[in-house]
Chains A and B, each alone.
Chain A
Amino acid sequence: MNTPAANDSAPSLGDLGFSPEQTQGSAADQAQLDKRSHMLKIHQRWGLATTVPMIATLLVAPSNKSNTSARTLHAVLGGITGDMYFTTAFYAIRAPRIPGTKDKGPIRVHKILAWIHGPGMILTPILGAMADEQRNAGQKVHGIASFHGPVASITIAAYLASILAVSIKF
């Protein structure tokens, strides 16, 4: 019927004003996109997996009258969470940036929240270690160490929100 066919009078990409640079792809550009996607896929998988020890750490959070073994379990799970968290972050930070791209949409929220849970993941274990030291010295947790719980809660909330931001359309 109306078979498209290339003939001498048919327009070409050059006729449309596209330059050869615009029409010819590059294996290097594709390789960069592939590497970026690969690293962000790993980031996504590690990020989801990190929620497991993170929530477990929260669930075994010791009370005021906790014993040493409960605090040790909490610290070990917290350590695993931290290792997995920073592995997750590594893959996002090291993924190649594509020139000319401006962040738009949920990814902006995802990245802004990283400025909350990132420092939180550094502060939480420091405050936890301080609190543990005070407990071991037979003291009631006091001073800045008493913020361990609230900082951890904010960190977890920001972390889960950053996952939701890129998973569910609000």
Chain B
Amino acid sequence: MNWKLIVAVTVLTLPAIGHADGHWGLESSTLTYHISHPLHQIDGISHAARGQGTCHEGQCDFLIAAPVKSFDSGDSNRDLHMLQVTRGGQYPIVTVRTRLPESSSASSAISADLDIQFAGQTVHYANVRLEQTGEGKLRRITGIVPSTVSDFKIDPPSLLAVPIKNEMPVKVEMTWRSE
């Protein structure tokens, strides 16, 4: 009888031992890319990102992902061109991965190394400065990823034979909830 109890307890507790220590869920987000052209200043916005963070042994792994087609610049024709030049048909999701120390949830400034997968390329951005506010279970993270069109080997789109500028900063505003 006792061995049955031991097996039952072991089976029930093993997943808990192997389970991550902490968990974060992305509650809301606004991702905004900005591109410049002599005739236009364009902001494409997505509120469709999903994200999770799992913490284990003092380290938290975060994944944030958004469909490329969810970015809205206010012009459906331009958005479809964006989808084409960024190879969004073939690579429909943009993902951001980062690993942060669990203790950083208490810091107002975070320096994060980001791996961004977009347009079929994975680009590493080191020491991206993020600001953090909030307390309790909620954290608001803001920052700018200094990405460029050439980082992702994107042919710069042009209008009237003039291409857009290479800089393509992405403003990040996210609210995370500790679960």
Contact = CB atoms under 8 A, between A and B. Distances in A.
A binds B: yes
B90 A13 contact: no
Interface stretch (A30-38, A70-78, A143-151): A30-38
B77 interface: yes
Interface string B35-63: 00001110000000011111010000111
Contact of B63 (A16, A31, A166): A16
Given A30-B87, A169-B40, A4 B113 contact: yes
A77 B78 CA distance: 33
Contact of A22 (B67, B111, B114, B159): B67
Given A7-B61, A10-B63, A30-B87, A36 B80 contact: yes
A15 B85 CA distance: 28
A102 B79 CA distance: 11
B56 A9 contact: yes
B89 A30 contact: yes
A149 B130 CA distance: 62
Interface in B59-80: 61-63, 65, 67, 72-78, 80
| Interface of chain B, main secondary structure | strand
Given A31-B89, A167-B159, 17 more contacts: A1-B113, A1-B127, A2-B98, A4-B61, A4-B97, A7-B61, A13-B63, A16-B63, A17-B50, A18-B50, A26-B90, A27-B90, A29-B89, A33-B84, A37-B81, A103-B77, A167-B39
Interface of B: 20, 39-41, 50-54, 56, 61-63, 65, 67, 72-78, 80-81, 83-85, 87-93, 95, 97-101, 111-115, 126-127, 159-160
B132 to A, nearest CB: 14
Contact of B61 (A10, A13, A26, A31): A10
11 contacts: A2-B100, A4-B114, A4-B115, A9-B61, A10-B54, A16-B52, A18-B65, A37-B84, A103-B76, A105-B76, A106-B77
B111 A33 contact: no
A11 B39 contact: no
Given A4-B99, A27-B90, A98 B80 contact: yes
A48 B85 CA distance: 22
A143 to B, nearest CB: 41
A106 B79 CA distance: 12
A103 B97 CA distance: 33
A37 B54 CA distance: 40
Contacts of B88: 25, 30, 33
Interface in A27-77: 27-34, 36-37, 40, 48
